[in-house]
Each structure stands twice: as structure tokens, then as C-alpha cells.
A = this chain, B = another copy of it.
Amino acid sequence: MKTKQRQRQVKPAEVRLDELVSAAQVLFLEKGMKATTVDDIVERAGVAKGTFYHYFNTKTDLLPALRERFARRFLERVSEAVEACAEDDWRGRLSAWCQRSLSICVEDFRLHDLVYADHYHDRSDPDLNQVLDQVEAILRAGGEAGAWPQADWRRLAVIAFWSMHGLADDLIARGGDSEEVGRFLSQRLLAMLGGTGT
């Protein structure tokens, strides 16, 4: 090891596990997964190599943990933004969902691409289902409170999520103001919820 070895303290197992996951995340993003070694990870995490092998066999085994954390933090951060709105402000809650989920997708796209690299065709991916559940709950609660007409909430959640996801990709590819796009998305979703079309 080239750098000074960090002081090893007795830490609870979940803390050491979390430190391994954090170290891997930083290194995978900095140098790529291919160039990162298990030695790099344990050195950065300041844990013994044995601790790594207690939890994992190879560095790629860290990906599910990174994915789980990405999804959990996504859900937490979006939920925080939604819960900052009044409980009966349904339009506000939906707008908060649009703004926050879009801004996270744009800010964290490299991490997103890293953790979901092989998961795009998994149509029953549990993370995707959790994210769909979150927006579906907002849509359903608003519908039940009479903010917009009753509808097929799951399908509307699919439309809301993938519209957000596509606009985030478009922002990443072409640039633009993510707040402005968030407002555009929430206005369009509200229009879609209110009307019945032909």
C-alpha cells in the first residue's frame, strides 16, 4: 500500500460493510470497475481484506449492495421532497415528485448507469417496482381525495416514471434547465390526469 494505512478501530459489522460499499462506489466512479482492485477498496475503506472476503467473493459482488443503496436513497430523497408539501396539496406533491426524481436522475446519472448497467431488461426489477409504487401512491391518494378523476393508477405511474426518466436522459444528452423541465413534466402530467381525451 502506498498511502498511510488508516487506523483500524473496532466497528460494528454494518458500519464496516457500509464503508466497503462507499469505498467501492467512489472508486468505481473514479477509475471504473475494471481498474479497481479489491486492495484499492479495502485500503480506501480502511478495513482488513478478510472483512471484504467475509461479505463478498469478488468486486462485482458489491454491485447489488450499490444498487440497493442507490434505490433506497432515491426513494428517501424523493419522499422527503414530497412530504415537505402539505398533506392535502396533491398537485404540489406530484410536482415535488417530478422535480426531485428528475434532479436526482440528472445529478446521479453516472452512479445510476454504473449500478443499473445490466438491469435494463429486467422488467420485474424490484427497484423499478418500488419507484413505481412510490409515484402510484401519490397518484392514488390524490385521486381518492378527488384532486383528479379515478383511473388506472399503475399505468399512470408507468407513464409518469418513464416520462421523467426519458426527460432526464434528454437533459443529460442535450443539456437544459432541470427545474424548468420538472415544471414542464408536472404540468403535463396534471393535464393528463385531469382530462379524459377523446
Contacts and interface: CB of A to CB of B under 8 A. Distances in A.
Nearest to A169: B123
Given A181-B155, A192-B191, A117 B113 contact: no
Interface in A151-173: 152, 154-156, 158-159, 161-163, 165-167, 169-170, 172-173
A91 interface: yes
A115 to B, nearest CB: 11
Nearest to A181: B155
B197 A186 contact: yes
Contact of A155 (B124, B170, B191): B170
A188 B197 contact: yes
Nearest to A170: B158
Given A123-B170, A155-B167, A165-B166, 20 more contacts: A124-B173, A155-B181, A155-B184, A156-B188, A158-B163, A159-B188, A161-B166, A162-B163, A162-B165, A162-B166, A188-B192, A189-B192, A190-B197, A191-B191, A191-B192, A191-B193, A191-B195, A192-B192, A194-B195, A195-B195
